[in-house]
Structure 1
Amino acid sequence: MAVKRTKRKNTPVTASGAGRQQPVIPTITSAAAAAAAADPLSLLKSLTRPDTLTTSATSSLLAVTSSKAVARKKSSLATAQLIRRYHTLNKELSKCLARIDAKKKQSDSGLDTQKSVTSEQTAADLARIVEIRQEMDDLGGLDMYQKASTLGQSKQRGGDSSKWLIPILEDYHRQLGKKAGTPLRLLDIGALSPHNYQKQSSWIHTTPIDLNPQDPLITKMDFLEMPVPKDQEHLFNVVCLSLVVNFVGDPTQRGEILRYSARFLVPGTGILYLVLPLPCIQNSRYFDHELLLEMMTSLGYTTLVNHHFAKKLAYYAFRLDAAAPKEQKRHSSMARTNIAAPMFPKKLRHDKPNRNK
């Protein structure tokens, strides 16, 4: 009897052992391929069995992902460093210009008794101004600073400071009893984006302005040169000064911005939204939370609606309870030199090590 011999199939030998079946390779759809372009690591994980050892390809993708995270962190640090350096230079520039201006006024009034010293100081300030402006240009100037600030405010970096204000404005809108179709009027000074309140556009009408706008929807305007509304109908319900006051190097101008803001708000109900770097409040030798409240009260902002200290920023919402105060009268000695007497002269409040000057 003849025995029919069957042909033996050759079983492939795999790296994990002989006689084991090859794993079935999953089919990648066009949708998955598109997703892979955006997130290759997630796709690779979904196609890998849980008991499968990590391959060199996976390790490579993990390394790439880690590298991207490091690159993003470095980019964020570089952006923050550029902003800080530009702030420092701008502050020093303002001090140099203020000294030159003060010396000029003293000289014009005939009160300058040390003209040789004044001349040397002015020459040193002028030389330093040239150096500062050159470094600012090397950094990319105001335009690059604005771009860096816009990047820092991006949603991916959690930098949009308007988010804290929205719940306050929602309550404020209800308290005012605004009818449907009558939105709040909001003046956004130093706006980096015209879209901060886009989701609330049905009940917030925004007027964004900036010295060097990065978007065509932002009006190019110096706030201190902006005409004051002539009637209450054109006053604003909200004025935003988010990281604006601290950018100004001259303390006198900082105070002028705060004083001028009151002239744009509806007396009795207007809200001033003020955002400052947290170190300005908690790490300064000459300034703190209590002094800020005292200063704001003198300007008519007698009610602190709310405030919040975050990791890096201090948020404030003040209500203008009184009409904007008139300009302060000058002492006779100050009037001769055309210098206004400061309401809050520079005074040491916290003499501790490592405090900012």
Structure 2
Amino acid sequence: MASNKKRTPKSLAAGRPPTFHRPKSISRKATKTLINRLHLLEKRKRQAIAKGDKAEEAAIDAEIQSLGGIKRYQEASLQGQRHDRGGDSSRVLMQWLQPCLTSKPSSGRRLRMLEVGALSTQNACSKSGCFDIERIDLNSQGEGILQQDFMQRPLPRDESERFDIISLSLVLNFVPDPKGRGDMLRRATHFLFPPGQHLDNPQLAAHFPSLFLVLPAPCVTNSRYLDEERLASIMTSLGYTKTASKTSQRLVYYLWKRDSSCGGAERQFSKKEIRSGASRNNFAIVLD
């Protein structure tokens, strides 16, 4: 049964490197190298924090700053979203949703989307004209993106502050610890409309409210603590049903529908090894 104990949600900033200004031009090879290096440094930093090694933590922070921190990471990610680089994960989402988006709610309103970790106002979802989109990010890259930590965002007071769909594209992997990732997934449910109560169009009601989740593929395909089955169990526990998924060489994409029929007692998921091997990574999601 879900615990009623109040939690103080951790700031996402705890898992993101500090900002540092650098020129914006970056090659494709350099983009990939930079992103991979920053991910590795974040992993090493979490390990140093867990061990209480302040000297190692400071040294890693210094290297992160020398690479440009979150500002540089976001510039690299923006370039990775260019069409000629196969980016913009929201194109996958639009392919999945296009058949149902030909119809609209009888009320005439557009579907509401919350995009967490937004990098651009010109992605496929933005250009579709199907959504009223609220975009937030820890370090806003321009107009149309509110600078805000999702874990500190006030919970909805009424339906005007809820959404039909939430996008967590390459966000969960930047939360610094397994419990924080579980807290983020749990918190997202509070920002979605209650299932089966807000849409009078059956075609749309079959797909919304929903959560779009994108992770680096190794988080699921090569983790000691997480695989497809365990991720599905965690999401089912939170009241979701998987409606679409895709795995590429670099990323895994999921669309989860919030479904009242899946509701009930929320299970606990500890950090439990499910695959062994020296080459495995330690990505995990914990629900306590």
**What TM-score do the two structures reach when normalised by structure 1?**
0.63
Match of residue 272, structure 2, among 314, 331, 347:
347
1:314 and 2:239 aligned: no
Matches within 5 A, 1:24-103: 75-97=27-49, 99=50
Structure 1 CA distance, aligned partners of 2:262 and 2:147?
A: 25
2:260 aligned counterpart, secondary structure:
coil
Structure 2 CA distance, aligned partners of 1:89 and 1:306?
A: 32
Matches within 5 A, 1:239-254: 239-254=166-181
User: Which residue does 2:140 correspond to in 1?
Assistant: 213
Output one character per residue of 1:123-181: Cα deviation in whole Å (capped at 9) or x when no partner.
xx111111111001100121111111111112221111000111333344457x51484
2:98 aligned counterpart, secondary structure:
helix
Contact 1:91 1:247 in 2 (8 A): no
Contact 1:273 1:317 in 2 (8 A): yes
User: Which residue does 1:129 correspond to in 2?
Assistant: 57
User: Which residue does 1:231 correspond to in 2?
Assistant: 158
Structure 1 CA distance, aligned partners of 2:158 and 2:264?
A: 17
Structure 1 CA distance, aligned partners of 2:228 and 2:176?
A: 20
1:275 and 2:203 aligned: no
Letter in 2 for 1:188: E
Contact 2:222 2:280 in 1 (8 A): yes
Matches within 5 A, 1:159-198: 159-173=87-101, 177-179=104-106, 181-196=108-123, 197-198=125-126
Structure 2 CA distance, aligned partners of 1:134 and 1:327?
A: 44
Structure 2's unaligned 5+ residue stretches are 1-25, 196-207, 283-288
The 1:325/1:92 distance shift into structure 2, 3 A limit, reads farther
Letter in 1 for 2:191: F
User: Which residue does 2:184 correspond to in 1?
Assistant: 257
Output one character per residue of 1:193-251: Cα deviation in whole Å (capped at 9) or x when no partner.
112123212x2111111001212221100000111211123310010000111122311
Letter in 2 for 1:284: S
Letter in 1 for 2:150: F
Match of residue 74, structure 2, among 130, 146, 150:
146
Structure 1 CA distance, aligned partners of 2:221 and 2:229?
A: 11
Output one character per residue of 1:246-274: Cα deviation in whole Å (capped at 9) or x when no partner.
12231111111111111101121311000
Contact 2:237 2:262 in 1 (8 A): no
Structure 2 CA distance, aligned partners of 1:172 and 1:220?
A: 31
Output one character per residue of 1:47-68: Cα deviation in whole Å (capped at 9) or x when no partner.
xxxxxxxxxxxxxxxxxxxxxx
Contact 1:262 1:324 in 2 (8 A): no
Which range moved further: 177-186 or 276-285?
A: 177-186
**What TM-score do the two structures reach when normalised by structure 2?**
0.78
Structure 1 CA distance, aligned partners of 2:157 and 2:46?
A: 32
1:307 aligned counterpart, secondary structure:
strand
Contact 1:173 1:184 in 2 (8 A): no
Structure 2 CA distance, aligned partners of 1:195 and 1:327?
A: 40
Letter in 1 for 2:75: K
Contact 1:95 1:249 in 2 (8 A): no
Larger radius of gyration: 1
Contact 2:220 2:226 in 1 (8 A): yes
Contact 2:172 2:215 in 1 (8 A): yes
Structure 2 CA distance, aligned partners of 1:127 and 1:217?
A: 39
Structure 1 CA distance, aligned partners of 2:99 and 2:144?
A: 28
The 1:327/1:250 distance shift into structure 2, 3 A limit, reads farther
The 1:181/1:245 distance shift into structure 2, 3 A limit, reads same
Structure 1 CA distance, aligned partners of 2:278 and 2:151?
A: 36
Contact 2:236 2:262 in 1 (8 A): no
RMSD value, Cα? 2.5
Shift of 1:185: 0.3
Letter in 1 for 2:215: L
Letter in 1 for 2:147: K
Runs of 4+ in structure 1 displaced over 6 angstroms?
323-328
Q: Percent identity?
A: 40
User: Which residue does 1:158 correspond to in 2?
Assistant: 86
The 1:295/1:250 distance shift into structure 2, 3 A limit, reads same
The 1:353/1:289 distance shift into structure 2, 3 A limit, reads same
